[in-house]
Amino acid sequence: MTEKWNMIVDIERCNNCRACFLAVKDEHTGNDFPGYAAEQPPMGHNWLDIERKERGTYPIVDAHFMPVMCNHCDDAPCVKAAKGGAITKRDDGIVIIDPEKSKGQKEIVDACPYGAVYWNEEKQIPQAWIFDAHLLDEGWDKTRAEQCCPTNVFRSLKVEDSEMQRIAADEGLEVLQPELGTKPRVYYKNMHLFNKCFVGGSVVANVGGVEECAEGAEVVLKHNGDEVARATTDLFGEFKIDKLAPNSGPYELEVTSASAGGLSTQFSVGDDSVYLGVMKLAAAA
């Protein structure tokens, strides 16, 4: 079996420092790599870009960042759109757009459903991130993006497909838009931070006539009577339960405190995460 390159991107680790973005710019702006890629224009091309996702509403809000790039798909639409051998799918899984053979083929840009291929107007060629193939072919075992990342967002792996599928299953990895059937070689960890929702709330209890944050209350989330998740309120009486599918529900939420009573409520999830507001525990009668 042939070992092929894959990239794992951990969304939870990305803090938008953009070192990876700058590394790709530094590698390709003003540098020409014959057979791999012509030099990147100084403006307008983001071969490795960072997308942002905000979830929730005040006061429980989170923001996360997702590096995006050419996915080096095994069933790449760009390969099908190219003429005259303009794009090569290498044995090691890397997709290369030939900077000479691809001249004038703007349809290659339009073929990519991920928007990862850019048009170089000056050179009249399509261009994309080459997985640092020119460096890997020289013996590197990491892309520059991985090498420079201070929070270990990236993990380059050259393994057999069966091993990669095992890793993907063990680590809960996902690919972008799997419904397209393009079979990307870029995998994402903690994708729920972009494609799932959370429910949160602030729980308070009446203590001696004064409302205080209810730390340590047990929160149980149910769907159709079955428990799907649970959490414990923090020092500020807040809780957060993640990985809920958009447009799902209805859910039942039960909050109990041994010292301050309990409450229950129902809600459904729309396109965004749900903040249930300030929730007041009621002492048992």
Instruction: State residue 278's pLDDT score.
Output: 97
Out of 1.10.220.70, 3.40.718.10, 3.30.70.20, 1.10.10.10, select the CATH number for domain 3-194.
3.30.70.20
Cis peptide preceding 250, ω within 30 of 0: yes
Pairing of strands 218-223, 226-232: antiparallel
Phi and psi at residue 133, in whole multiples of 5°? -60, -35
Q: State how far the alpha carbon of 253 is from the alpha carbons of 199, 247, 261, in Å.
A: 10, 17, 14
d(C-alpha 109, C-alpha 115), whole Å: 8
Q: Where are the domains of the chain?
A: 3-194, 196-280
- Kindly state the helix (H) or strand (E) to which residue 21 belongs, with its residue range: helix 19-28
Superfamily for the 196-280 domain: Immunoglobulins (2.60.40.10)
Q: What is the pLDDT of residues 175-205, one digit of tens each?
A: 999 999 999 999 999 999 999 999 999 999 9
Give 3's strand partners.
160
CA angle 60, 65, 67 (to 5 degrees): 165
**Mean pLDDT within 108-115:** 98
**Amino acid 284: pLDDT:** 57
pLDDT single digits (tens) 33-45:
999 999 999 999 9
Average pLDDT over residues 73-83: 97
Q: What is the pLDDT of residue 209?
A: 83
Token pair for 159? 């393994």
The pTM of the full predicted model, rounded to 2 decimals, is: 0.93
